Amino acid sequence: MNKLSDDTRLRLADDNVWSQLGEEIVILDLASSSYLGLDDVGAAVWDMLTEPRRVDELETDLAAAYEVDLREISRDLRPFLEELVTRGLLVLDEEESEPVP
């Protein structure tokens, strides 16, 4: 997968099975029959993506929520999002997303 741009709009894949356990989320990857656990920050990102969101919107909202520098959020968030896209747990919201170069 190529790098995500600020304008890339993401959403949860339609066939995700997941459950909230306290502040964490556990996702069943149906394609590989494996589980993925998300900590509280990952769960916050997942929750934000229940509606399609642009990458830059996610970064801004997380930086404000956790009072962390936007550059630090970007450095950590983008590889995480790219991994979720690679696993098929997130997909590009094609209707309103800029193409990934």
pLDDT digits (tens, 9 = 90+) for 14-58: 888 999 999 999 998 887 888 899 999 999 999 999 999 999 999
- Tell me the percentage of the chain whose pLDDT exceeds 70: 91
* Phi and psi angles of residue 38, each rounded to the nearest 5 degrees, phi first: -115, 135
Task: For residue 48, give the nearest of 61, 34, 64, 36 by alpha carbon.
Answer: 61
In a domain? residue 2: no
pTM for the full predicted model: 0.86
Which domain does 41 fall in, by range? 9-87
pLDDT at 75 over 90: yes
The two three-digit tokens of residue 66, written as one number: 């956790």
Q: Does 97 map to a domain?
A: no
d(C-alpha 74, C-alpha 50), whole Å:
20
The angle, 0 to 180 degrees and rounded to 10, between the axes of the packed helices 55-66 and 40-48 is 140
User: For the chain, what is the domain count?
Assistant: 1
Q: Is residue 82 part of a domain?
A: yes
Is 35 domain-assigned? yes
100 or 93, which is more confident?
93
> What CATH number corresponds to the domain at position 56?
1.10.10
